[in-house]
Structure 1
Amino acid sequence: MTGWREEFERFLATDPNDVGCDQAMAVLHLYAELLAAGVDAAERYPGVAAHLAACEACAEATDGLLAAVRDHDLN
């Protein structure tokens, strides 16, 4: 179990631009489509990029969505 000190340190290290899970998930499909098109999605959605750098679960969801978008584009 993570102690309060570790939680507090993680909170202090959070990028202030991080939009959080809910907002990131709301535009994740657009973010993945931009990535698949070779566009700098982080430039368009810097708060989402900050969140993905900090949240392993959302980063994994992005990887899966990107794979699905790329697979769809191949078919």
Structure 2
Amino acid sequence: MNDWAGLDRFLQTDPRDVGCEEAIAMLHVYVELVAEDAGAARRYPGIAAHLRACGPCADDFEGLLAAISDD
């Protein structure tokens, strides 16, 4: 079985994507802004683009967000 859909997603990378290194370096700031509903995606569109494209970084984001949530 092949993963043509995954390949298509990879090939259609958003040019604003900052990559893993920069996204992880700023992830703590981005998570705080998301938690405060302070327009994180508007302020950091490159990180938002990266989190849409990178599963491992998105997992880290979700984990940090869960860690600081009151829920």
Identify the TM-score tier after normalising by the shorter chain: 0.7 to 0.9
Q: Which residue number corresponds to residue 49 of structure 1? A: 48
Unaligned runs of 5+ in 1: none
Listed as ranges, the gaps of 5+ residues in structure 2 are: none
**Which string of whole-angstrom CA distances, capped at 9 and with x for unpartnered residues, describes residues 12-52 of structure 1?**
31110000000000000000000111112100100000000
Task: Give the paired residue count.
Answer: 68
Please give the residue correspondences for 1:15-26 in structure 2 after superposition, counting only pairs within 5 Å: 15-26=14-25
Larger of the two Rg values belongs to structure: 1
Identity %: 57
The TM-score, its normalising length taken from structure 1, stands at 0.78
Q: Which protein has the bigger helix share?
A: 1
CA distance in 2, matches of 1:10, 1:43: 22
TM-score normalised to structure 2 length: 0.82
| Distance in structure 2 (CA, Å) of the matches to 1:23 and 1:58 | 11
